[in-house]
Amino acid sequence: DTAVSQTPKYLVTQMGNDKSIKCEQNLGHDTMYWYKQDSKKFLKIMFSYNNKELIINETVPNRFSPKSPDKAHLNLHINSLELGDSAVYFCASSRGQGRNYGYTFGSGTRLTVV
């Protein structure tokens, strides 16, 4: 039973399209995150939600819009996709800030913009 599940696992799309990535966690965690792993392998935080409320919004283009319908779900919608958006996107969750047990990550969504 997957703890943090992301769909789709792979996404290939053309420039200018709009796409969404879904994330669900069944751990009862109250905090969820989106991280982006670029070609240099850095994991950079994009957004963080706590109990459906936006807590962290890093310097991310407005084309990226997270939505949290409830504390078990955090979806990521991307408008007008650009080549530079190609990356692996990871969803994660934690109890509180994850001090003692860290984050639980999904397996990632590899987005390729052509």
Partner 1 sequence: DQQVKQNSPSLSVQEGRISILNCDYTNSMFDYFLWYKKYPAEGPTFLISISSIKDKNEDGRFTVFLNKSAKHLSLHIVPSQPGDSAVYFCAVANTNAGKSTFGDGTTLTVKP
Interaction site with partner 1 (CB under 8 A): 4, 31, 33, 35, 40-45, 48, 50, 55-56, 90, 92, 97-108
Distance CA 76, CA 44 (A): 15
Shortest Å distance, C-beta 59 to partner 1: 12
Q: Which is nearer to partner 1, 4 or 74 (CB)?
A: 4
Shortest Å distance, C-beta 55 to partner 1: 6
Q: Which is nearer to partner 1, 48 or 85 (CB)?
A: 48
Shortest Å distance, C-beta 99 to partner 1: 5
Shortest Å distance, C-beta 98 to partner 1: 7
Distance CA 93, CA 72 (A): 9
82-49-52-68 Cα dihedral, nearest 10 degrees: 20
**For residue 58, is it left (φ>0), alpha (ψ between -120 and 50) or beta?**
beta
Q: Which is nearer to partner 1, 38 or 82 (CB)?
A: 38
CA distances to 29, 45, 50, 104, 112 from 4, in Å: 10, 17, 16, 7, 22
Q: Which is nearer to partner 1, 80 or 97 (CB)?
A: 97
Tokens of 48: 């963080």
